Structure 1
Amino acid sequence: MQASDLAMFICNFPKIGNGKEKFIMKKDPVSANTPDFGTASITDTLAALHVNPDTGLARDDVNARRDQDGYNEVAEKAKRPVLKFLGKFWGISAWMLELIMVLSVVRGNYSDLVVVGALLVVNAVLGFMQEHRAEGVVEALRKQLQVSARVRRDAIWQIVPARELVPGDIVRVRSGDVIPADVKLLTGALSLDQSALTGESQDADKAPGDILSSGAVARRGEGSGVVILTGAKTYFGRTTELVQVARPKLHIEAVVTKIVRWLFVIVGVLLGVVVALSVNRGVPMIEMIPLMLVLLMSAVPVALPVMFTVSMALGSKELAKHGVLVTRLSAAEDAATMGILCVDKTGTITMNQLAVTDVIPLEAATEADVLFAGALASQEANQDPIDQAFIAIAKERRVFDDLTALTPVSFSPFDAKNRRTEAVVEQNGQKLRVMKGAVRTIAEACGLSQPEIEALEQRVSTAATKGYRTLAVARGLEQGAPSLVGLVSLYDPPRSDAKQLIAALLDLGVTVKMLTGDALPVAIEIGTGVGLSNIGRIGDLKAAGTPL
């Protein structure tokens, strides 16, 4: 198994929430009576933040709020290279070597002092240099990935670094933007990709009054909003902060500590026996130091820390050849000794992108007719996940090959109000109208009766239990009602190598479990297909209080 394959399962941040969290600012720099922004009205939110959406904040207000709240970032704990290097000389392994050095000085055995001191320094230098180099790479990547935001201040729209935003700032968000902070939408409509936060691959529609979570990506639409939370107070920021402050006990430290502890116990028992005999025979204690030094040097593996450090450094170098950046030397050893791997579904087992899984023609239409109309009602330039799924399957099935060239006339992208995309194309001098979108919306546009619509929605509900998202496709002349040609189901497909990789992990003795925030039937459908049987929801696991 390649190291790059294993890296597929490593996530930088845990998925949290379900997209419906309540946002509460515990301490607000603007008002002592801050409302719950998740449920407060737009008027109350603006009043609590003391901001006029038509003019935005004044420069003095921005500076005052930044002094109070800080920058819109998760502040990293200051790292002092000298102290970090000196930290390599602290710990049970380092103490073991340092004790031997002290005894060597007392004994006057400077050759042992030099050898053990060299081992101690080499161990510290190797570990420090490797981690320092990796941190430099991460910092360079972070600077290249800085996000900017469109903000209205002093009644003027301007672009500023996202880290300079403060609560109360009026921001503009458009398709393709990363939400720079927790924002309450004031005007417009957006469709957000919240997979980084919730693990859900399907986009979430947002209307005025809804919360836009920091870290989400705007897929469609645009709108203006007011910043309500920044930095570590956002949900994404809190997660990042937890990751930074987490200090799990390293496996290698536990192993070395256990070995050294038992060796010290053995040496201690032997020294106790020697001291007891010496006291009984009246031998001076100073003469016992050479024996203590011999016992320590022979019983304690002085090269053990260096051996571990060198082997992990070589492993990190090998992983780097496969595109895996190791920021902590012991991470490679921890991954190699893991016994249980808990994976997420979206973006880990799956591609985190939609694909067509089923085409259901209606009336006299064929699959090619459905895909043809659906692809025409899509636009590749928008990079919309649903549009891309239709275009990809149309190219794969080659539905355009035997058709006369088409001339696009107009295209209307998805709108949260009409819940559909629509296009007008000209073929052989005749203008055709095609559309795709929510089943009820398209069915009503086609003039279907209520019983017919309910029958279609029943089919949609059945597909939804398997994690499929179903859309309707219609076509017709530019003037007049279109005709419903079929239904198309989409889902987030597994990665092409997921099944093979899971099988490889199982062969290596690693138990693979899936923890998901999605509906359990969806996770079971995906997990079973890639060879996973131990599947559960994170919420159920927390409620039960027992291991999966």
Structure 2
Amino acid sequence: MSVIAGTDEPVEKVLQRLKSDPARGLTDAEAQSRLARDGRNELPPPPKPSALKRFFNQFANPIVLTLLVAAVIALINGATQDTSGPFLVRFGDAIAIFLIVALNAVLGYYQEQRAEAALDALQKMQTPSARVRRDDKVVVLNAVELVAGDILEIEAGDAVPADARLLQTINLATEESALTGESVPVGKDARGQVPADAPLGDRANMLFVGSNVVRGKGRALVVATGTRTELGKLSELIRGAGGDRVTPLEQKLDEFGKRILLTCLGLSVLLFARGMWKGDRSWHELLLEAVSLAVAAIPEGLPAITTITLALGMQRMAKRGAIVRKLAAVETLGAATVICSDKTGTLTQNEMTVTRIHCGRRSYEVTGVGYDPRGSIVGDSGDIVDTPGKPLRHLLQIVALCNNAELDIDDNGKWCAIGDPTEAALLTLSAKGGLPKESVLPTHQLLKELPFDSDRKRMTILTLDAKGREVVHTKGSADVLLPLCTYFEDEDGIREMTAADRENIERELGRMSEQQLRVLAVARRILGKRPDSSPVSGPSFVDSMPAILPHPIELEESLTFVGLVGMIDPPRPGVKEAVAACARAQVRAVMITGDHKLTAIAIARELGLWDEGALALTGAELEKLSPEELEKRVEHVRVFARVTAEQKLRIVRAFKNLGHVVAMTGDGVNDAPALREAHIGVAMGKNGTDVARQAADMVIADDNFATIVEAVREGRAIYRNIQKFIFFLLSANAGLLVTVFVASFLDVPPLTPLMILWINLVTNGLPALALGVDPPDPTQMNEPPRKTNTGLLRTREYVGIVFVGLWMGGAALLTYFWPWNHGIGGAARVEERAAAFTLLALSPLLHALSCRSATASIAALKPKVSVPLALAIVLSAAIHSVAVFVPALRPVFRTYLMTGAEWLILFLLSASIVPGVELMKLVQRGGVGGRTLGPISRRSTES
């Protein structure tokens, strides 16, 4: 059963409908019955693919599937050959292909498993508990055992365990930023009447799971649990958003693989059909020749090297605090053109901080950020206030006394707030001024308290001070409190407030408001000494029980104005620099927040998000726009304020419809649907919700926005390196393809599939991998994002592939007609094939030196030679020599022991590719008189 109370219903009807007694609660028997009927109070875990499905997903790649087809053909061909031949000779080709496919699958599976394990560790959480009335007793239960009809007892510091209708409230306020994006606590009132269609943030008579109680206490009736809560509804919305997303890299690799597949199949069929038409050879030989051509056309190392490159990038990101859940998502941020960022907790610290004071006709700046009491109050002349004067001292006393929050140190040694963040910020201020709450409490005895409420917009306490005087301390909204003040305090004492005083206060209030500070006024009133009172001599403040005042207006009149306090939720350290880096990289940062429009604009200005011509839209304004109208305006909007989860989805979709690659950052439950819809969702791991982390592709473990910029940098470097080794592998394969295809028409022995696989995987694999970890170009963050509607390679690269293929292939074919003198009975074409095999193994190793840049000369690169690439070249050459010098392997690879002169000839032919490619680059740069593109000027050619 699912019974959710309407906020506009009288609470008596809700109690009657749920058959609950607010004094006694449910019986244990009834609670167990409802638990069995409705289920546990928890959200279902996100579905995860089985280990078997995740493993087989690694094969869902056109190149891998083509390799499997080639392996099957090689297997059939080996089985139909002379069974007396050596096993490795017959099945070596098939075994080699199957091994590389399996290696690729294992690597991909392992890395994704590691990412999930890291994320699971990050999402460890304690099971929440709840105080519940059962059988006329208050008991503490695991929150998952709550049912509709339970009566909750809540107070400051509690996490709300279920959606509940309030029955009683005493100065109750909750922090709902995870649900609404609003960082300011929301006052709650059990007596409030709320329309049925009121937004989530305006439902003052309701509590919602996912929020926290920051002050006061109350009693509430559970009306929804599990998936029936507002958080549960959002989780359903998350599951419906985004679907199975495909990253830009996955799209391009898929399209690229399909083109390679069609090319190699077409050429193989052509070669097989030609042989069958001639009819001078058996179908076994023709099939082997077709397989050789297919293997030559397919860059077998591409899936494995791509996987390894992405895996290494994933590990580098993890060291910087960015946990990526899917390999192909590693480079997606590098293509991002828009980053939609939540404000609270992502761009800002979610820690209210007092930054400015106006007191006694003087203004003060307050240093320090957050709830750490280390900081200073600095006068307008730049001097640190060590001994505050009377007005400032009274202000610090008032904000410490008129306060129900506490400061504490968490397990990580960081100061945190217990209670209302605004009151915690005031406690921090009093500590910075040398008057912490602990030193003020012993000198005052609490007599009465008027809690803050949304109607009065102020809090007042009455205390007995050390002189035996009754003193009223008040803090509240400046526009409400200022009219109640008739006196003014400065360094000369207390006097009647003049029109000039009031004008000066309002002018300072305007200045603070322009800075989008949240401003509170502070006032006091000395009622005089009670005849029966004695000075306070102990810490009786906390021991006394305040009475409820029947006529608060008698205290809150004829007040003495003491000062103004301005506070703000400050930006995170390093965020401004990160936003500037995004701007240089031509990545647009857009703030999406549930906060007020003016506050959001002020933060945007401070962070550098706001520029000339920028617009801000509220959720109400956005709701009036059609999808087409939103798409017309969204390009100029830098701030979206007071938006709902559904509206965040609209924003992301509008950017996507305009062709943008969208990254969405966030930490709240309300961010999760948009995280799922974006090309890549980036959740906060430290203060973020579990729902947001489950919906995201990437989790920032340290909640640092600057880590996102590092991820953008890493993503761009990874994509560029992928382009490098793809060009390298395809150009080397082009040489193989030319050699095999032309050799088949010249009726000379073509390279065997095992020879081709050896070149592709063993000798070419290491240089390709070294190119995949090439150091990033330091100028890449000054370039615009790459266009996602273009292929992995451009026309210039394809021209280069053809050029290199013809050059290498021509050099290899030359070995078939070179007058070798190997002393084995004349020009045996088998030995000439072995020479071509060695040339096609060595030539790509030297060609790799030119592949570090598509346009820049080797001489212009810095460093001249990459150490990993140099080691890879030397190691690959050494590995290939094993196939030539080890006698036992010569029959397998059809090689022979060459002379020193033959090695020299092959080396010179292999090395000729380097000046050949340099000449090609020179022509592409515009000839000798053209502009040389060094490593600083590669944006237009390599992005």
- TM-score normalised by L of structure 1: 0.81
Q: Residue deviations 1:105-150, cap 9 Å, x none? A: 1222532322332222222223323333343344455453321112
| Counterparts of 1:508 and 1:185, CA distance in 2 | 50
Distance 1:485 1:194, change over 3 A: same
SS class of match (2:141): strand
How far the C-alpha of 1:372 sits from its partner, in A, is 4.8
| Counterparts of 2:429 and 2:618, CA distance in 1 | 34
> Would you say the 8 A contact 1:406–1:425 is kept in 2?
no
Among 6, 25, 42, the alignment partner of 2:11 is: 42
| AA partner of residue 153 (structure 1) | R
Q: Which residue does the alignment assign to 1:438? A: 477
Q: Which residue does the alignment assign to 1:152? A: 133
Distance 1:366 1:299, change over 3 A: farther
| AA partner of residue 476 (structure 1) | R
Aligned Cα root-mean-square deviation (Å)? 3.7
SS class of match (2:331): helix
Q: Which residue does the alignment assign to 2:312? A: 314
| Counterparts of 1:170 and 1:457, CA distance in 2 | 46
Q: Which residue does the alignment assign to 2:175? A: 193
Q: Which residue does the alignment assign to 1:236? A: 231
Structure 1: 5+ residue stretches without partners: 1-28
Q: Which residue does the alignment assign to 2:201? A: none
| Counterparts of 2:468 and 2:604, CA distance in 1 | 49
Distance 1:265 1:390, change over 3 A: same
Q: Which residue does the alignment assign to 1:494? A: 571
| Counterparts of 1:413 and 1:429, CA distance in 2 | 21
How far the C-alpha of 1:192 sits from its partner, in A, is 0.8
Q: Which residue does the alignment assign to 1:133? A: 114
| Counterparts of 2:450 and 2:99, CA distance in 1 | 68
How far the C-alpha of 1:423 sits from its partner, in A, is 6.2
| Counterparts of 1:156 and 1:79, CA distance in 2 | 44
Tell whether 2:586 aligns with 1:509: yes
Structure 1, 503-512 or 190-199: larger mean CA deviation? 503-512
Q: Which residue does the alignment assign to 1:59? A: 28
Q: Which residue does the alignment assign to 1:87? A: 57
Tell whether 2:74 aligns with 1:104: yes
> Would you say the 8 A contact 1:57–1:153 is kept in 2?
yes
> Would you say the 8 A contact 2:522–2:564 is kept in 1?
yes
Q: Residue deviations 1:393-446, cap 9 Å, x none? A: 34445578xx99972433858443764153636356766442212346645765
Tell whether 2:285 aligns with 1:249: no
Q: Residue deviations 1:3-47, cap 9 Å, x none? A: xxxxxxxxxxxxxxxxxxxxxxxxxx16xxx67523222122222
| Counterparts of 1:465 and 1:185, CA distance in 2 | 37
Q: Which residue does the alignment assign to 1:330? A: 328
> Would you say the 8 A contact 1:420–1:441 is kept in 2?
no
Q: Residue deviations 1:469-524, cap 9 Å, x none? A: 32220123254754122232322222232111111222233221222333332222
Q: Residue deviations 1:183-231, cap 9 Å, x none? A: 1111114211111111111110011151112101110011111222222
| AA partner of residue 487 (structure 1) | L
> Would you say the 8 A contact 2:445–2:464 is kept in 1?
yes
How far the C-alpha of 1:466 sits from its partner, in A, is 5.8
Distance 1:284 1:158, change over 3 A: farther
| Counterparts of 1:421 and 1:135, CA distance in 2 | 51
| Counterparts of 2:66 and 2:224, CA distance in 1 | 49
Among 185, 189, 192, the alignment partner of 1:207 is: 189
How far the C-alpha of 1:258 sits from its partner, in A, is 1.7
Structure 1, 278-287 or 526-535: larger mean CA deviation? 278-287
SS class of match (2:322): coil
| Counterparts of 1:166 and 1:512, CA distance in 2 | 43
| AA partner of residue 459 (structure 2) | R
Q: Residue deviations 1:65-105, cap 9 Å, x none? A: 33443222221226532333233333434423322322221
Tell whether 2:428 aligns with 1:392: yes
Q: Which residue does the alignment assign to 1:24? A: none
Distance 1:38 1:484, change over 3 A: same
SS class of match (1:184): strand
Tell whether 2:164 aligns with 1:183: yes
SS class of match (1:470): strand
| AA partner of residue 74 (structure 1) | L
Q: Residue deviations 1:325-377, cap 9 Å, x none? A: 33333333223332321112222111212222443336798556544533443
- TM-score normalised by L of structure 2: 0.49
Q: Which residue does the alignment assign to 1:426? A: 465
| Counterparts of 2:440 and 2:430, CA distance in 1 | 15
| Counterparts of 1:524 and 1:207, CA distance in 2 | 30
Q: Which residue does the alignment assign to 1:221? A: 216
| Counterparts of 1:151 and 1:405, CA distance in 2 | 33
| Counterparts of 1:227 and 1:380, CA distance in 2 | 27
How far the C-alpha of 1:297 sits from its partner, in A, is 1.8
Q: Which residue does the alignment assign to 2:788? A: none
Tell me how many residue pairs correspond in the alignment. 514
| Counterparts of 1:298 and 1:258, CA distance in 2 | 19
SS class of match (2:589): strand
Q: Which residue does the alignment assign to 2:149? A: 168
> Would you say the 8 A contact 2:272–2:287 is kept in 1?
no
Distance 1:408 1:341, change over 3 A: same
> Would you say the 8 A contact 1:175–1:218 is kept in 2?
yes
Distance 1:242 1:458, change over 3 A: farther
SS class of match (2:71): helix
| AA partner of residue 255 (structure 1) | K
| AA partner of residue 526 (structure 1) | I
Q: Which residue does the alignment assign to 1:468? A: 517
Tell whether 2:453 aligns with 1:416: yes
| Counterparts of 2:602 and 2:478, CA distance in 1 | 23
Distance 1:544 1:465, change over 3 A: farther
> Would you say the 8 A contact 2:272–2:290 is kept in 1?
no
Quote the sequence identity (%). 28
Q: Residue deviations 1:521-543, cap 9 Å, x none? A: 22221101111125644734563
Tell whether 2:443 aligns with 1:407: yes
| Counterparts of 2:222 and 2:169, CA distance in 1 | 15
> Would you say the 8 A contact 2:402–2:459 is kept in 1?
no
| Counterparts of 1:405 and 1:81, CA distance in 2 | 60
SS class of match (1:186): strand
| Counterparts of 1:113 and 1:145, CA distance in 2 | 52
Q: Residue deviations 1:145-175, cap 9 Å, x none? A: 3211122233332222222222222222211
Q: Which residue does the alignment assign to 1:527? A: 604
| Counterparts of 1:267 and 1:538, CA distance in 2 | 55
| AA partner of residue 100 (structure 1) | A
Distance 1:41 1:308, change over 3 A: farther
Tell whether 2:410 aligns with 1:373: no
SS class of match (1:144): coil
SS class of match (1:312): helix
| AA partner of residue 312 (structure 2) | L
Structure 1, 519-528 or 129-138: larger mean CA deviation? 129-138
| AA partner of residue 92 (structure 2) | S
SS class of match (2:323): coil
| AA partner of residue 233 (structure 1) | R
Structure 2: 5+ residue stretches without partners: 79-89, 193-204, 363-389, 407-417, 488-495, 529-554, 636-943
| Counterparts of 1:130 and 1:414, CA distance in 2 | 55
| Counterparts of 2:98 and 2:486, CA distance in 1 | 86
